[in-house]
């Protein structure tokens, strides 16, 4: 058995070392000439699926079907090059898998990629493929996109199919992707999203909520300000807004209670039966998830309904939030587990806005700090995913025109 040529030369440690199996793609189509990888949550005929967990890999084995979203890309003539490492059971944001290794950040090798779509972001940032599929529950596309200098979308919940894909928390899980440039990103969007049923108007109402900008560390806010000004020059001055409902802590805990309860519903049976060795951080998160009560879940779901209405009223049909994607650049690989967990918890307070609402958020790789990438995001009303990407295309065109 032989491995993919791409995987044999995998200096980024981005790919799972599975034996190569032919995956046919259409000879011509809108994605002709583009190569892609898929996070090892997506079933692909002839390949195993691991979810980043060795015992689950043994249990699931080789798959007999291909996830519809992967098939859409193949039918559009994109060439599949391999399955990428995911953080264990997709329940982490660090990009470090205790069993299969830590993919390398192509934009800042001394810093974490971010997870759980770590391998996909690594593969794209290291130019091992043109784009890659990931999933985003609590930030698993947006965090790596910001850390690795990539475009990354968390789509409207349910907009892109996750059929035949391993779940983490189904009412929060979404299917997103990464690309290095907006033109490639838009080509993939045309294949996976199509057109918005109700696009954003040509002139949007840009909003910069101070309560979310305050979550970025001072150095990150300073690095993002020139980019914010460039975006405002293209889309119009950003108005003030407040997005937080009740408190940041309330949002954080309600999000975590939903995610934790659903993650335990999905994986708790497997964990109880097989007692698999779980990596640092992951083990603790699942142990905590098992303690979420029915009362906490009911309160969290009720809060989510209120927050979705609250944010929908703020945005209307033409509002777009301009916010930091992450609180700061990626932590260093050498940082302690405690420091990484503290960063993760700070990040969730920023990332849970899209998670709780189910609204689309696009991270743009437009800023840097200490020679590391830093993303800025556009977050819009539900169903305006393709419109957000068009705004990103406008922003890039404006930057090129003024260069």
3-state secondary structure of 3: strand
Which residues are bridge partners to 363 per DSSP? 152, 377
3-state secondary structure of 101: strand
Distances (CA, A) of 256 to 114, 126, 394: 18, 32, 35
DSSP designation for 31: T
3-state secondary structure of 54: helix
Task: For residues 52 and 35, give the distance between their C-alpha atoms in angstroms, rounded to a whole number.
Answer: 22
DSSP 277-333: ---TTHHHHHHHHTT--HHHHHHHHHHHHHHHHHHHHHHTTTEEEEEESSSSSPPBT
Active-site residue, selected from the candidate residues 140, 146, 289, 377: 140
Pull the structure tokens for residue 316. 């209307």
Active-site residue, 402 included = no
What DSSP element (H or E) covers 348?
A: helix 337-357
What DSSP element (H or E) covers 152?
A: strand 151-154
| Cα 182–Cα 183–Cα 186 angle in degrees, nearest 5 | 85
Active-site residue, 64 included = no
Active-site residue, 116 included = yes
Active-site residue, selected from the candidate residues 35, 50, 116, 377: 116
- Contact status, residue 12 vs residue 106, Cβ threshold 8 Å: yes
Active-site residue, selected from the candidate residues 39, 83, 146, 363: 39
Is the bond leading into 392 cis (omega within 30 degrees of zero)? no
Among 25, 11, 194, 213, which residue's Cα sits nearest to residue 106? 11
DSSP designation for 392: H
> How far, rounded to the nearest angstrom, does the alpha carbon of residue 279 sit from its chain's CA centroid?
21
Task: For residues 257 and 288, give the distance between their C-alpha atoms in angstroms, rounded to a whole number.
Answer: 10
Place of tokens 């708790």: 268
Task: For residues 298 and 85, give the distance between their C-alpha atoms in angstroms, rounded to a whole number.
Answer: 34
Pairing between β-strand 239-241 and β-strand 372-379 as defined by DSSP bridges: unpaired
Provide CB contacts within 8 A for 60, sequence distance 6+: 48, 49, 50, 51
Residues marked as catalytic: 39, 116, 140
């Amino acid at each position: 058995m032989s491995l993919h040529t791409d995987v044999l030369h995998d200096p980024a440690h981005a790919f799972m070392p599975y034996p190569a199996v032919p995956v046919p793609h259409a000879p011509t189509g809108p994605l002709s000439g583009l190569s892609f990888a898929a996070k090892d949550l997506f079933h692909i005929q002839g390949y195993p699926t691991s979810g980043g967990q060795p015992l689950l890999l043994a249990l699931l084995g080789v798959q007999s079907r291909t996830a519809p979203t992967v098939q859409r890309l193949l039918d559009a003539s994109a060439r599949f090059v391999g399955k990428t490492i995911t953080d264990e059971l997709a329940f982490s944001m660090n990009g470090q898998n205790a069993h299969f290794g830590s993919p390398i950040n192509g934009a800042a090798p001394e810093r974490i990629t971010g997870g759980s779509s770590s391998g996909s972001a690594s593969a794209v940032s290291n130019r091992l493929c043109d784009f890659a599929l990931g999933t985003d529950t609590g930030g698993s596309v947006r965090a790596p996109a910001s850390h690795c200098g990539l475009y990354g979308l968390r789509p409207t919940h349910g907009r892109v199919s996750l059929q035949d894909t391993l779940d983490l928390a189904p009412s929060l899980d979404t299917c997103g992707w990464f690309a290095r440039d907006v033109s490639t990103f838009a080509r993939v969007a045309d294949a996976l999203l199509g057109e918005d049923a109700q696009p954003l108007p040509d002139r949007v109402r840009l909003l910069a909520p101070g309560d979310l900008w305050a979550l970025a560390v001072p150095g990150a806010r300073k690095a993002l300000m020139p980019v914010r000004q460039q975006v405002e020059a293209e889309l119009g001055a950003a108005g003030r807004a407040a997005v937080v409902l009740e408190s940041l802590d309330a949002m954080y805990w309600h999000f975590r209670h939903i995610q934790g309860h659903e993650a335990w519903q999905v994986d708790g049976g497997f964990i109880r039966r097989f007692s698999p060795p779980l990596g640092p951080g992951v083990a603790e998160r699942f142990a905590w998830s098992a303690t979420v009560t029915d009362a906490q879940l009911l309160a969290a779901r009720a809060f989510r309904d209120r927050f979705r209405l609250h944010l929908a009223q703020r945005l209307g049909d033409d509002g777009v939030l301009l916010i930091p994607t992450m609180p700061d650049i990626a932590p260093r690989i050498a940082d302690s587990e405690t420091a990484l967990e503290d960063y993760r918890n700070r990040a969730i307070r920023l990332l849970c806005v899209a998670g709780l609402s189910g609204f689309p958020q696009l991270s743009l790789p437009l800023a840097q700090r200490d020679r590391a990438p830093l993303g800025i995001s556009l977050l819009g009303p539900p169903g305006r995913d393709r419109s957000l990407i068009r705004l990103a295309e406008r922003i890039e065109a404006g930057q090129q025109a003024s260069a």
